[in-house]
Chains A and B, each alone.
Chain A
């Protein structure tokens, strides 16, 4: 597809890189010549310097033949205008990043009336992600598939785990848990294991199971599996508001610590049921006084990465809380991961991921069968959901008789609202949604799983 990306910030750049790798022709537009230069010299894409909302610039970028325009500049209004003009000039699909909460309440109207395909709010998306993480205190990361019915959970096994030196198939035969390990991270390496793969303590495993079965599994391998009942949020940002609303709906008590008095007052108006504390969370006393050690979860959401990292480390020292740390800049990710920070959340990363998913879905309409795509394990592996629309050479054949590609695993079949963890005798049927985990990138069709 031909895709125009307006805005060469972190999100624009991440999108350009990922989409380019998937074989799309990318043109990036930004007013900052330096940014355009640096993006177009490290990626195989074309750069244009200019205002993305200008008709002339859009024509130069080839909006007439473009399939999609992504507006991800820092300005909501500019993004919307870009999409509006692109819609009129080229009749392509448009996606805008809109973050102002005022627009957010009217998002449906805006999307319909301006003819946008998708509006993404980074703060909202980040809040959704954090809420998901808090539901599984021990899981490091959680993603949802098949409209929320299947969860891909990523946990690190303790050194002395009961799974140490156990084969993957023994999880089913010995522990009697219906879960499927999809990927194992050992150090920097990512392995898609087969049944005979031997697990070790310290491995990070990603597995698929329904919410109920995941709970059983956690119990059997003696992981804490209780939904948190309270949380402490530091920093009263927009994400905090979205998150607090969401958590309180789930019945979780929320305490927000915010330095700015005025902001606190606005927060208390918007979130009448939350406890709002006016104080500087970078003072140890404030945190301890507010009962940090009794907290089951802790979310660092200030505007400074350094502060968030320090807060999270401190919370780790002084409590058993499940921690979520917001990091804006995604550089040095490998170093940051080594720190004891709990789960890392980067709004920009999440935004890029959501848009990528949509682009895949768009391709789906034009002959490609991927329904959703998740980049998992730092983008080292992908989890893809395929909708089986018609019979073909993969339908109706037991898995034990199929020869699949290396580093690929069929981890889940959703059939008529039921989750099936596929074993050797199971087979794919028409109407199923099949979820595949692989380290091979660029799978376009269910047939691509065959060796």
Chain B
């Protein structure tokens, strides 16, 4: 394993995080908040320590798939540990474990919070919390790949380990250009959302933080009741953008190069919109009587469906009080998640499609035992190796899910709470049901449960295998 190069990457991560930490410090200057010093101190410390590591560039830049996995997993751990420091130092979150939970939740775009009173935080801390979503949404290493001229094709291992989806390809031959295009689209869409929210009269600070949360499909708000107290029009804008950020970014790239046909014929994106439409219609019908008004029912249903399927986790209403059928739909959506190649989490629509198609093929196989049929996705046959990895992903996913649930059960909450807490963290959504519902939070869990959920959040964001590789004894053995 190329330890020197991995260390160099970690150094880069620290340097970039130092640069990011300057932003909340500027916010604190504007609002004249005393907490700003913590951000500046951390920025300086991280910058210096990162700088000393980066100072000498390693000669050997060759690294393999396993190094890529380890580098990505370690990067996220380091990023979170360092990012939690200012929250803890400025005493906005007194316990370091809680601060770490909050930061991991931020970077992994989960949006699960341990805070009981969000409004009690300083503006700079609120800004940092939301900004972590934006950074984590598209991925930190993708950002580094876009900015730093790291030579060599080996970097594909990094991108592959960080980006979600069955197979991760490039848009253009150069990895750096690909990363730049992705971040360009991401930045442009975020700015459009900010501008639209400003036009509808939202204050700049709210527009910024909420847009970061939407773009990264994170879910940290700045008010205690999440999004509920904003005007309907602003909620509608957020709904639309949540759903847009859950679309595979390849579709936007196709639109950008005017390959409209390819953009609109993406099977995954079509399935994604189909699922959303079906879920909205069903929930609207189911909650119509409760809201007493079709439009209100539709509005809340659309917002909540968009929020849950893209794994954002904003709430306009306490869906804990909704009928069981609607709640069940939401839980199902939690597992499906957004499209591959988007900023959302969950299992990803393309995987679900693949599983459904596998089941259909297997049934056909029972009927015609000698039949041979390739599974096709996006109009081309899927590689056997990719199918295998996808199936093993499901096994690993549920293994982690149930082990986590067992450990969390020690805290003696009800089944729904435990189940949805793990579902909400492993799928990077944020709120679950009951205790961890949209009006609740994760503060009541024990430190052990919090650590389990932190692992789940990271595993969910990195699609499980990087975290498992990092903790696998095999990696250390043949280092």
Contact partners of B173 in chain A: CB under 8 A: 2, 25-27, 44-46
CA distance A381 to B235 in the complex (A): 62
Which one of A26, A40, A44 has the highest number of Cβ atoms from chain B below 10 Å of its Cβ? A44
B170 at the interface (CB under 8 A from A): yes
B152 at the interface (CB under 8 A from A): yes
Report yes or no: B154 in contact with A25, Cβ–Cβ below 8 A.
no
Contact partners of A20 in chain B: CB under 8 A: 153
- Distance in angstroms from A206 CB to nearest chain B CB is 25
A275 at the interface (CB under 8 A from B): no
Contact partners of A25 in chain B: CB under 8 A: 172-174, 177
Segment 381-437 of B: residues with Cβ below 8 Å from A: 383
Segment 335-365 of A: residues with Cβ below 8 Å from B: none
Report yes or no: A44 in contact with B155, Cβ–Cβ below 8 A.
yes
B462 at the interface (CB under 8 A from A): no
Known contacts A25-B172, A26-B173, A46-B172; A41/B156 CB under 8 A: yes
Report yes or no: B170 in contact with A46, Cβ–Cβ below 8 A.
yes
Q: In the complex, which residue of chain A has the Cβ closest to the Cβ of B170? A: A46
Report yes or no: B172 in contact with A45, Cβ–Cβ below 8 A.
no
CA distance A359 to B283 in the complex (A): 61
B215 at the interface (CB under 8 A from A): no
A43 at the interface (CB under 8 A from B): yes
Report yes or no: A41 in contact with B170, Cβ–Cβ below 8 A.
no
Segment 408-436 of A: residues with Cβ below 8 Å from B: none
Q: In the complex, which residue of chain B has the Cβ closest to the Cβ of A33? A: B383
Segment 133-159 of B: residues with Cβ below 8 Å from A: 151-157
A262 at the interface (CB under 8 A from B): no
B454 at the interface (CB under 8 A from A): no
Contact partners of A27 in chain B: CB under 8 A: 173
- Taken residue by residue from 42 to 80, chain A's Cβ proximity to chain B (1 for < 8 Å, 0 otherwise) reads as 111110000000000000000000000000000000000
CA distance A20 to B155 in the complex (A): 14
Q: In the complex, which residue of chain B has the Cβ closest to the Cβ of A41? A: B156
Q: In the complex, which residue of chain B has the Cβ closest to the Cβ of A60? A: B262
Report yes or no: A43 in contact with B172, Cβ–Cβ below 8 A.
no
A contact residues, range: 10 to 19
- Distance in angstroms from B64 CB to nearest chain A CB is 9
Report yes or no: A42 in contact with B153, Cβ–Cβ below 8 A.
yes
- Taken residue by residue from 12 to 41, chain A's Cβ proximity to chain B (1 for < 8 Å, 0 otherwise) reads as 000000001000011100000100000011
Known contacts A25-B172, A26-B173, A27-B173; A40/B383 CB under 8 A: no
B contact residues, range: 10 to 19
B175 at the interface (CB under 8 A from A): yes
Report yes or no: B153 in contact with A40, Cβ–Cβ below 8 A.
yes
Report yes or no: A44 in contact with B152, Cβ–Cβ below 8 A.
yes
- Distance in angstroms from B381 CB to nearest chain A CB is 10
Cβ 8 A contact of A44, one of B65, B169, B174, B383: B174
- Distance in angstroms from B170 CB to nearest chain A CB is 5
- Distance in angstroms from A388 CB to nearest chain B CB is 31
Which one of B152, B154, B174, B383 has the highest number of Cβ atoms from chain A below 10 Å of its Cβ? B174
Report yes or no: B153 in contact with A41, Cβ–Cβ below 8 A.
yes
CA distance A2 to B172 in the complex (A): 10
- Distance in angstroms from A379 CB to nearest chain B CB is 16
Q: In the complex, which residue of chain A has the Cβ closest to the Cβ of B380? A: A49
Contact partners of B170 in chain A: CB under 8 A: 46
Q: In the complex, which residue of chain A has the Cβ closest to the Cβ of B152? A: A44
Report yes or no: A44 in contact with B172, Cβ–Cβ below 8 A.
no
Q: In the complex, which residue of chain A has the Cβ closest to the Cβ of B383? A: A33
Report yes or no: B174 in contact with A41, Cβ–Cβ below 8 A.
no
Contact partners of A45 in chain B: CB under 8 A: 153, 173
Q: In the complex, which residue of chain A has the Cβ closest to the Cβ of B262? A: A60
CA distance A42 to B156 in the complex (A): 8
- Taken residue by residue from 171 to 188, chain A's Cβ proximity to chain B (1 for < 8 Å, 0 otherwise) reads as 000000000000000000
CA distance A41 to B65 in the complex (A): 9
CA distance A242 to B336 in the complex (A): 64
Report yes or no: A40 in contact with B174, Cβ–Cβ below 8 A.
no
Contact partners of A2 in chain B: CB under 8 A: 173
Contact partners of B152 in chain A: CB under 8 A: 43-44
CA distance A20 to B173 in the complex (A): 10
- Distance in angstroms from B456 CB to nearest chain A CB is 29
Which one of B65, B151, B173, B175 has the highest number of Cβ atoms from chain A below 10 Å of its Cβ? B173
Segment 56-83 of B: residues with Cβ below 8 Å from A: 65
CA distance A43 to B61 in the complex (A): 12
Contact partners of B174 in chain A: CB under 8 A: 25, 44
- Distance in angstroms from B341 CB to nearest chain A CB is 15
- Taken residue by residue from 77 to 97, chain A's Cβ proximity to chain B (1 for < 8 Å, 0 otherwise) reads as 000000000000000000000
Contact partners of A42 in chain B: CB under 8 A: 153-154
- Distance in angstroms from A198 CB to nearest chain B CB is 27
- Distance in angstroms from B176 CB to nearest chain A CB is 8
- Distance in angstroms from B16 CB to nearest chain A CB is 21
CA distance A2 to B157 in the complex (A): 23
Would you mind naming 6 contact pairs between A and B with Cβ atoms under 8 Å apart?
A: A2-B173, A40-B153, A41-B65, A44-B155, A44-B175, A45-B173
The 9 nearest A-B residue pairs measured at CB: A43-B153, A44-B153, A25-B173, A46-B173, A46-B170, A44-B175, A45-B173, A26-B173, A42-B153
| Given A43-B152, A44-B151, A46-B169, 6 new contacts (CB under 8 A) | A25-B172, A40-B156, A44-B173, A44-B174, A45-B153, A46-B172
